[in-house]
Chain A
Amino acid sequence: MKFLPLFSLLLFFQTANTSCHSKPSIIHIDFCDFLNDVSNDWDRAHGKLSQEKSLHYFIAAASPASWRDSILLSFIRSDDFIQNEIKKKYYRLTITFYKKSKDTDALMKTRSSEFLDYCQNDIVVQYEWIEGKILAHPLNIQDGIIKGAEDIKLVYSIKK
């Protein structure tokens, strides 16, 4: 009997340890997916059809540890729907992951794609496949700006 408290303690630590590394719940925002024709004149002249497909996913966890590349890539590899979409070799396939915020909560609650624009600042990363091949560097996005683009010097003018 004297081992029982020790056993309970071990069980507690094991459970706590598992919960720290448990996979976050990732939900497909399927009502925001779209498929566009992006053929240009050159494509049409050569009888080629170029399509762009966009998939959106919501990470239902507040911790930044939940959107590490390793976790998200493991999710992508294990998700049958995404794997089937990759096999279709669209000209461009993008998968966007959104973190939890008041705007993404409103999006999930209303299930209206109109709210997607309000969630631009909640994008954490975007993966892209061009004709079935994943781009070497995912687009990491912070506060709505793609990392590496924040120092672009803008030249403005307003039409009077």
Chain B
Amino acid sequence: MMRYLSRGILPCIENKLINKDGTPADDGKPETTQNIAGRSFSDPDLTAAVLSDDNFKGFAKNLLRRFNQELNAVGGDLVRLKPFTIGNPAFNSSKNNTDGLGITIHGVSYVEVHLLKYEPGLRKNYFVQLQVDLYDNFGLGAEDLVIDNYLTQWYKWWDSKAFQSWYLLQHKFNHVPLRTHVQLTIGSYLNLNTIYWKH
């Protein structure tokens, strides 16, 4: 069931961690499930899946829109730019129930955004590039065990033993989850007054 729900992404991750016979993948040193745990995990397939997700695209557009608004508020002076807060992206659409992002990430724990490039042009046009780091833990919280709606969350009931075992291993037997890290850069051609690059 978990393989079905996460088809596309989880098998890619799984193949890098666990051999087909169920033993941990060898990357030059002896592995146990204990020392795989807690490690930072990044993967281009996971990052590509995040980039193509509608919720993430919405987050990226809002981020650039807010950046432009804040830069406009300080007259385009980067030194005076103030930090601002926007909500973390979440992979909780109905599509994410079956494309793997719901299982592998779902809610993002925290996001870091760094300014990589700022190239001013003519007529208040500029190009901006931001580095976005999404961090999450590949674990279960107590809220993940709650079934609010049996119609849309039937998989939690179907695989309840797997979810409960996963939760117990993490919270009672000290199997620290992987730290999922998705790093990507987003950019756009914007205009201080109108958002869009003015030709």
Contacts and interface: CB of A to CB of B under 8 A. Distances in A.
Interface of A: 34, 36, 38-43, 50, 52, 54, 91-92, 102-103, 105-106, 109-110, 112, 114-118, 120-121, 130, 143-146, 148-160
Contact of B80 (A42, A110, A115, A159): A42
A39 B144 CA distance: 36
B48 A158 contact: yes
Contact of B55 (A106, A112, A121, A148): A121
A153 B82 contact: no
13 contacts: A40-B79, A42-B79, A50-B82, A106-B148, A109-B148, A117-B89, A120-B87, A121-B93, A144-B62, A150-B61, A152-B64, A152-B188, A158-B51
Nearest to B70: A92
Contacts of B79: 40-42
Interface residues of B, number: 48
B85 A36 contact: yes
Contacts of B51: 156, 158
B108 A117 contact: yes
A110 B55 contact: no
B189 A153 contact: yes
B195 A117 contact: no
Contacts of B89: 117, 120
Given A154-B61, A156-B51, A40 B185 contact: no
Contacts of A144: 55, 58-59, 62
A151 B191 CA distance: 13
Nearest to A123: B87
Contact of A52 (B60, B85, B188, B190): B85
Contacts of B93: 121
Contacts of B73: 130
Interface string B36-60: 0000000010011001001101111
Contacts of A149: 61-62, 64-65, 195
A134 to B, nearest CB: 14
Given A40-B82, A145-B58, A158-B51, A152 B143 contact: no
A117 B64 contact: no
A11 to B, nearest CB: 39
Contacts of B108: 117
Contacts of B97: none
A40 B62 CA distance: 22
A40 B65 contact: no
Contact of A156 (B88, B141, B185): B185
A88 B174 CA distance: 46
A40 B188 contact: no
Contacts of B54: 143
Contacts of A150: 61
Given A149-B195, A152-B195, A159-B184, A91 B82 contact: yes
A85 to B, nearest CB: 16
B60 A154 contact: yes
